[in-house]
Amino acid sequence: MELPSPTGAPRPRAELFLDYLTFFRERVIEKVAQCSDDDLDESILPSQWTPLGLVKHLTFVEMRWLEWGFEGREVAAPWSDRVGDRFATSAGDTRSTLLEGLRRRGEVTNEIVRRHDLDEVGAPGERWAGDAPATLERILFHLLQEYARHVGHLDIYVELVTRDTGE
């Protein structure tokens, strides 16, 4: 998939958000595919961040903001992508299972966004930590910046471990 263009025929804003999220999600998947198994599970960074930890984090970020936060659904262990302040994987997490989880999360995100209007306000709940719930549009803006930032991190990580400069 190519980066959605700001030119061309106008599209509904919700679909544009989903196109950008799909683009970034696919970039994560492509970048992770470039890494060896050792590169995916061993960090070269002081933060001990790994590509597989990032994949799990992005999957959970979408779930926390949209399913748990916006729709107010009960979810089990919404912060289990972290240990302390670090992204973490669990026993049994593999490239295959985590990438499939990210793809499935994208499908859930698409369904949630298509069920609601962008100006709709999220359900009150734990996710908001006492603040007023955000609109779907604000959440989607937040998710786009989260993905864009982390895809940039992943671009640099992959360049360092594979020497492939890519984009």
- The domains located in the chain, with CATH, are 13-162 (1.20.120.450)
pLDDT at 55: 96
- pLDDT tens, position by position, 45-74: 888 889 999 999 999 999 999 999 999 999
Residues 6+ apart with CB under 8 A from 137: 13, 17, 118, 119
Report pTM: 0.92
3-state secondary structure of 87: strand
pLDDT of amino acid 19: 94
Give residue 44's pLDDT.
85
Predicted confidence at residue 5, as pLDDT, reads 74
Residue 167: what pLDDT? 61
Distance CA 56, CA 90 (A): 10
Q: Which of 90, 67, 68 is nearest to 80 (CA)?
A: 90
What does each C-alpha distance from 120 to 126, 136, 139, 164 come to in angstroms? 18, 6, 11, 43
pLDDT digits (tens, 9 = 90+) for 71-109: 999 999 999 888 888 888 998 999 999 999 999 999 999
What's the angle, vertex CA 87, arms to CA 85 and CA 91, rounded to 5?
A: 125
| pLDDT tens by residue, 1-36 | 677 777 777 789 999 999 999 999 999 999 999 999
Q: What is the DSSP letter of 66?
A: I
| 107-120 tens-digit pLDDT | 999 999 999 999 99
Of 100, 95, 101, 96, nearest to 80 by C-alpha is 101
Each residue of 121-156: pLDDT tens digit? 999 998 998 999 999 999 999 999 999 999 999 999
